[in-house]
Copies of this chain bind each other. A is one copy, B any other.
């Protein structure tokens, strides 16, 4: 999931974005695309199939061409390079967002995941703290939902996926965070999650519910930012 696209496929994705496929579904034939890419029709066709397999685009093949739209994951990959360029080419301000969300009780899944050694070791190593075995779930509303999508597109600290005896675990994106202007922790975003974009999952070295005396429905403030250096 977080293994990055090969360069030639990235460029095909980039060209599709140039044609507007990042905003809406576009119609394009493999022949048209090949002339844009400067390659053969066959290569254009293969690139589209590969990008679809990788989840970067959605495609409907019709009789008069392909209908293409770049997925959220595809846009994320484009944003990643965009941020990399901007950091060097423009005087990049550190991007950060302040969220406000309402505490709710999840399914306890967070505690299960976070205590897997595969994740826990990486959190210690890459985030610099030993996580309390549980996550704080915040429900976002209004503009904060879109704000979370934007945060998710920014460079992150990546916890690699792994396997244990029973099953495999996907990669997780982490953003350093400060909770209620006081406690350090991180916002975590699982690549595949049961939650939608209206949920912010927060981890921390301490038990946040106790520290802040939180109950369901309480408002919590989270300052989250992209790390200075993205560790892979």
A binding-site residues for B, Cβ under 8 Å: 7-8, 10-11, 14, 17-18, 20, 22-23, 75, 78-79, 81-82, 84-86, 88-89, 92-93, 97-100, 141-144, 146-147, 150, 221
Given A7-B7, A78-B85, A86-B82, A143:B142 Cβ within 8 A: no
Q: Are B97 and A22 in contact (CB under 8 A)?
A: no
Residues of B within 8 Å of A97, CB to CB, are 143, 146
In the bound complex, CA of A75 to CA of B84 (Å): 13
In the bound complex, CA of A151 to CA of B221 (Å): 22
Given A143-B99, A147-B143, A88:B7 Cβ within 8 A: no
Residues of B within 8 Å of A98, CB to CB, are 142-143, 146
Residues of B within 8 Å of A142, CB to CB, are 98-100, 221
Residue of A11, A22, A99 with most partner-chain B CB within 10 A: A11
Q: How close is A20's CB to chain B, nearest CB, in angstroms?
A: 7
Residues of B within 8 Å of A23, CB to CB, are 88, 92
In the bound complex, CA of A34 to CA of B98 (Å): 38
Q: Kindly list 11 other residue pairs between chains A and B, CB separation below 8 angstroms, not including A18-B88, A78-B89.
A: A14-B85, A23-B88, A79-B89, A93-B150, A97-B143, A97-B146, A99-B143, A100-B143, A142-B221, A143-B143, A143-B147
Residue of A20, A85, A99 with most partner-chain B CB within 10 A: A85
Copy count, this protein chain: 2
Q: How would you classify the secondary structure of chain A's contact residues: helix, strand, loop or mixed?
A: helix
In the bound complex, CA of A14 to CA of B85 (Å): 8
Residues of B within 8 Å of A81, CB to CB, are 14, 81, 85
Q: How close is A71's CB to chain B, nearest CB, in angstroms?
A: 14
Q: How close is A213's CB to chain B, nearest CB, in angstroms?
A: 20
Q: Which 7 A-B pairs have the closest CB atoms?
A: A7-B7, A98-B143, A82-B85, A7-B11, A7-B8, A100-B142, A98-B142
Residues of B within 8 Å of A88, CB to CB, are 17-18, 20, 22-23
Residues of B within 8 Å of A221, CB to CB, are 142
In the bound complex, CA of A20 to CA of B92 (Å): 10
Name the residue of chain B whose CB is nearest to the CB of A99: B143
Residues of B within 8 Å of A85, CB to CB, are 14, 17, 78, 81-82, 85
Q: How close is A147's CB to chain B, nearest CB, in angstroms?
A: 6
